[in-house]
Chains A and B, each alone.
Chain A
Amino acid sequence: MAEYIFRIFRYDPEKDEGTKGRVQEYKIEVEKGWTVLDALNYIKWHVDGSLSYRRACRHGICGSCGMTINGKNTIACEQQVADLGTQVITVEPLRGFRVIKDLIVDMEPFYDKLYAIKPYLITYTPPPTDKERLQSPEDRKLLDGKYECILCACCTSSCPTYWADKEFLGPNALMKAARFVLDSRDEGWEERVNAIDDKHGVWRCHTIFNCVEACPKELNATRAIVELRRLMLKGRL
């Protein structure tokens, strides 16, 4: 057991409307092995039931608990409290999105970008067998490091270009686009290219690498963006 101070961003739309929100401190005993999500659960269940945040699986697979912890985006369920190395821990909602309540942000703009690139397999030719569309292990390998995304929004929320231009597709949608464009079974290029090649698309990235640092699944959205650009470059020259 060790004592930690959690400085948590609070915003209640009924009381704090028009303000920039406030910070509330909670001093709690943290047990060995607790993640930040465990600490938030403890606060909500035993100290202050009004604290709001998203969570579901607590196993790093649902992507619900993306937040900014000590200034760095990650999912709270994968962040060990002891690994943070500070006794005072700040917890804030993902930046770049509108705060709905406390640590809960409006994810709609994030999903809109995802829908824009049509994040599903698009095919026109019928499958070779009535069971499945086969893919060689080599072709399958091209998707490694792209398909594992859990949609936590840590990447897009860490992107300064997205902060400046809210219409920018952002690292997540662009990486998802690469995941389908590079899929040997996919035939949806024509339907995706307009969004990818848009003024707010792949050319807006300034290779800042914040998304790479932020991703709790250690995916490299910047590399995916570069792969998309390389494809477009080849297609034009």
Chain B
Amino acid sequence: MKFPRTSGGFYAWLFQRLTGILLVILLIIHFAITHNFPKGGGVTYAAVAPRLATATWKVFDLTFLVCALFHGLNGVWMVVQDYVHSETAQTWIFYALCTLGLILLVLGAITVIPFKA
């Protein structure tokens, strides 16, 4: 079967699911390691900072950040597509969400990337 046009929502739908699955996995790792789940405790600067300074953990946190931002904002975008009927308003909200995502991505990145213990 041929697909003659780009979709009206295929990629938004697909990546909402992919990032959803990734979020479950990343959340489990995040809780297991950072929060020492299920025992809990140990979230002190001395315990956490050295790990946050490693390249592996920086990649992990950036992936987490990208997934959560995309998933959350794309989710809002899906709600907007259902409830906002004016195409013009939708377009404005779309770019506002993109801008918000970009700002939060930069804020997250400058927190994660240069971190030293």
Contact = CB atoms under 8 A, between A and B. Distances in A.
A163 to B, nearest CB: 9
B interface, by DSSP: helix, strand, loop or mixed? loop
B7 interface: yes
B41 interface: no
A210 interface: no
B1 A231 contact: yes
A220 interface: no
Contacts of A232: 3, 7, 10
Given A203-B12, A203-B13, A232-B10, A194 B81 contact: no
A interface, by DSSP: helix, strand, loop or mixed? helix
Interface residues of B, number: 16
Given A201-B8, A203-B9, A235 B82 contact: no
B82 A204 contact: yes
Contact of A233 (B2, B14, B81, B85): B14
A197 B5 contact: yes
Contacts of A231: 1
A236 interface: yes
Contact of A203 (B4, B5, B10, B85): B10
B8 A197 contact: yes
Choose among A164, A229, A234 the residue with the greatest number of B CB atoms under 10 Å from its CB.
A164
A190 B5 CA distance: 10
A199 B11 CA distance: 11
A148 interface: no
B8 A193 contact: no
Interface residues on A, range: 20 to 34
A197 B82 CA distance: 16
Interface in B70-117: 81-83, 85
Interface string A180-198: 0000000001100110011
A161 interface: yes
A206 to B, nearest CB: 8
B82 A161 contact: yes
Contact of B82 (A165, A234, A236): A165
Choose among A198, A199, A229, A231 the residue with the greatest number of B CB atoms under 10 Å from its CB.
A199
A167 to B, nearest CB: 8
Contact of A190 (B2, B10, B14, B82): B2
A189 B7 CA distance: 15
Given A161-B82, A233-B14, A204 B9 contact: yes
A235 B2 contact: yes
29 contacts: A164-B82, A164-B83, A165-B81, A165-B82, A165-B85, A190-B2, A193-B4, A194-B5, A197-B3, A197-B5, A197-B7, A198-B8, A199-B8, A200-B8, A201-B9, A203-B7, A203-B8, A203-B9, A203-B10, A203-B12, A204-B9, A204-B82, A232-B3, A232-B7, A232-B10, A234-B1, A235-B2, A235-B3, A236-B3
Interface of B: 1-5, 7-10, 12-14, 81-83, 85
Given A199-B81, A235-B3, 4 more contacts: A200-B8, A203-B9, A203-B10, A204-B82
